[in-house]
Chains A and B, each alone.
Chain A
Amino acid sequence: MKTFEYRTATAASAVLAPDAAFLAGGTNLVDLMKLGVATPDVLVDVTKLPLDRITDLPDGGLRVGATVRNSDLAADPRIRERYPVLSQALLAGASGQLRNMATTGGNLLQRTRCTYFMDPSTPCNKRAPGSGCPARAGDHRNLAILGGSEACIATHPSDMAVALAALGAQVRVESATGERTIAVTELHRLPGDRPDLDTVLDHGEMITAVDLPALPFATRSAYRKARDRASYAFAVGSVAAALDVADGLVRDVRLAWGAVAPRPWRATTAERLLRGRPATHENFLAAADEELRAARPLRDNAYKTTLTRNLTAAVLTRLASAGEAR
């Protein structure tokens, strides 16, 4: 590991040195530093800032501090009751040990697990701009079918972010130049010809909190994750959904997909198609198909199209029947 200077952040609004990086739980960053993928000169530890609380918002939503640990967020009674999809997504990710360290802000800012990105001996446009991308012809079984570019087909690996996208969460950001709020679905960039830029954040902008809007029907929400083993593996496909059904019709729906794109993929086309329509398995499949018309699968990841389609219909059908039973 390249040497660095360790500092403690005193305020979110402090200026960040040019080659400095924020350190929170470190479960991804420290690993990337060991691999030589991340090489900051300075680490600024943000975990001593007072950002580790979950507080009620006046509108009935919740504000989740950036350094709230994933395990604490998943276990919070308010999250489990009002936003079960978020608790489930968090618990589907990583392991008990990792969730005890990983934070809300850090989870959002974790990097892709693309094998070429993680290996500095290979080309990678995200890690070394302009060096090329071996993934299109090589190992892309778990890479993107939506939102990728010629330069990069990396996926965002987070489970939590998929639930946040479905819930319409807002990311609060602070820096020396001020504060702003970004929809979580706009936080991560599509790669285009600049895959080295994961997010829209400027250098020195720190995530301070994530706001969950009041969403009464999210009490009926769920996260389902497909992976290569029963536990402790990244998703090969995942679905976060919330469903509001009345008289057999979809009154409202929230749908987001994981492991298929460079960002948590909010399926707005599918949502639009479903509103006002009968909550049937056939309609859920048709809506997923419409959203997936934009999919551009490669040799070894076309299975994700079918997987995502079927997971979506399965999750929504289950939520619909759970509603009728009430």
Chain B
Amino acid sequence: MTRGFIRHFPGNLSEVKLIVNGVEYEFDLDPRTTLLDLLREHLGLTGAKKGCDHGQCGACTVLLDGRRVNSCLILAVAQQGAEVTTVEGLGTAERPHPVQRGFLDHDGFQCGYCTPGQICSAVGMLDEVKQGRPSAVTTPGDDLLSDAEIRERMSGNLCRCGAYPNMVPAIRQAAGE
């Protein structure tokens, strides 16, 4: 495990320790720094996208201590010691994550801008399903991976190209792996 020491701003700084994709970092951060800006601007991890920057589009979705979140609405200083996984930490071109494999096999994207957020969201969502967590369309005894369930559970991720139809089987395929 390598350690990075990254100091960017003079003045009112807060010390923050974070584990990003398995690597521990220490930062001296302007407290205004969002988790998204830390990932993109300080660590060069540009997978998570700044779409709306207001928690409305889901393009910035990453996993925080294993749960999917909008990184644009999270202050990095408030996440002392947390573990963050971005799309870069899920898989590689040679060894894609099952969700990445599913998106490739089913052509689950067009321009690709929302895709890292969609993939991180799907990974978090599949874990929620595994835990038996309900969604707004769940009725007891139903299949938690029906088309209606996948669509509802993924509604926090918008796709301007409208590639939704192919994401549904992509995610269901990943769930089976």
Pair B155/A6 contact, Cβ less than 8 Å: no
Spot the interface stretch: A53-61, A88-96, A240-248.
A88-96
- Which listed residue, B14, B61, B135, touches A6 by the CB 8 Å rule? B14
Digitize A95-117: 1 where CB-to-B-CB distance is under 8 Å, 0 elsewhere. 11110110000000000000000
A93 nearest in chain B by CB position: B136
Digitize A73-87: 1 where CB-to-B-CB distance is under 8 Å, 0 elsewhere. 011000010000001
The answer, yes or no, to whether A324 is at the interface (CB within 8 Å) is no
The answer, yes or no, to whether B68 is at the interface (CB within 8 Å) is yes
- Which listed residue, A4, A5, A26, A232, touches B155 by the CB 8 Å rule? A232
Give the distance to chain B from A192, nearest Cβ to Cβ, in Å: 30
- Which listed residue, A6, A30, A87, touches B73 by the CB 8 Å rule? A30
Number of cross-chain contacts by CB at 8 Å = 98
Digitize B119-154: 1 where CB-to-A-CB distance is under 8 Å, 0 elsewhere. 001001100100111111010000000000001111
Pair A97/B136 contact, Cβ less than 8 Å: no
Pair B70/A101 contact, Cβ less than 8 Å: yes
Alpha-carbon gap, A101 to B64, bound state (A): 10
- Which listed residue, B34, B67, B68, B153, touches A30 by the CB 8 Å rule? B34
- Which listed residue, A1, A74, A95, touches B156 by the CB 8 Å rule? A95
The answer, yes or no, to whether B53 is at the interface (CB within 8 Å) is yes
Known pairs A5-B12, A96-B124; A101 contacts B156 (CB<8 A): no
Known pairs A5-B31, A6-B31; A97 contacts B156 (CB<8 A): yes
The answer, yes or no, to whether A231 is at the interface (CB within 8 Å) is yes
Alpha-carbon gap, A229 to B157, bound state (A): 14
Spot the interface stretch: B74-82, B101-109, B165-173.
B74-82
- Which listed residue, A1, A27, A71, touches B32 by the CB 8 Å rule? A1
A99 nearest in chain B by CB position: B156
Within 8 A of A (CB), among B86-128: 121, 124-125, 128
Chain A residues near B34: list those with CB within 8 A. 30
Pair B78/A45 contact, Cβ less than 8 Å: yes
Pair B53/A97 contact, Cβ less than 8 Å: no
B66 nearest in chain A by CB position: A100
The answer, yes or no, to whether B54 is at the interface (CB within 8 Å) is yes
The answer, yes or no, to whether B30 is at the interface (CB within 8 Å) is yes
- Which listed residue, B12, B30, B121, B138, touches A96 by the CB 8 Å rule? B121
The answer, yes or no, to whether B58 is at the interface (CB within 8 Å) is yes
Alpha-carbon gap, A97 to B68, bound state (A): 5
Chain A residues near B153: list those with CB within 8 A. 96
Alpha-carbon gap, A95 to B75, bound state (A): 19
Within 8 A of B (CB), among A1-43: 1, 3-6, 23, 26-27, 30-31, 34, 43
Pair B30/A30 contact, Cβ less than 8 Å: no
The answer, yes or no, to whether A268 is at the interface (CB within 8 Å) is no
The answer, yes or no, to whether A149 is at the interface (CB within 8 Å) is no
- Which listed residue, B12, B75, B136, touches A231 by the CB 8 Å rule? B136
Give the distance to chain B from A89, nearest Cβ to Cβ, in Å: 10
Pair B55/A100 contact, Cβ less than 8 Å: no
The answer, yes or no, to whether A47 is at the interface (CB within 8 Å) is yes
The answer, yes or no, to whether B69 is at the interface (CB within 8 Å) is yes
Alpha-carbon gap, A180 to B22, bound state (A): 44
Pair A231/B68 contact, Cβ less than 8 Å: no
Pair B75/A23 contact, Cβ less than 8 Å: yes
- Which listed residue, B68, B75, B134, touches A75 by the CB 8 Å rule? B134
Chain B residues near A3: list those with CB within 8 A. 12, 30-32
Pair B69/A100 contact, Cβ less than 8 Å: yes
Chain B residues near A100: list those with CB within 8 A. 64, 67-69, 124
Chain B residues near A26: list those with CB within 8 A. 73-75, 78
Alpha-carbon gap, A175 to B70, bound state (A): 31
A-B contacts, 17 listed (Cβ < 8 Å): A4-B32, A6-B77, A26-B78, A27-B70, A43-B75, A74-B133, A75-B132, A80-B134, A91-B138, A94-B156, A95-B157, A96-B124, A96-B125, A96-B128, A97-B68, A101-B69, A230-B155
Which B residues are within 8 Å of any A CB, using their own CB? 12, 14, 30-32, 34, 53-55, 58, 61, 64, 67-70, 73-75, 77-78, 121, 124-125, 128, 131-136, 138, 151-157
Given contacts A43-B75, A98-B73, 4 further A-B contacts (CB under 8 A): A34-B54, A88-B136, A100-B64, A101-B73
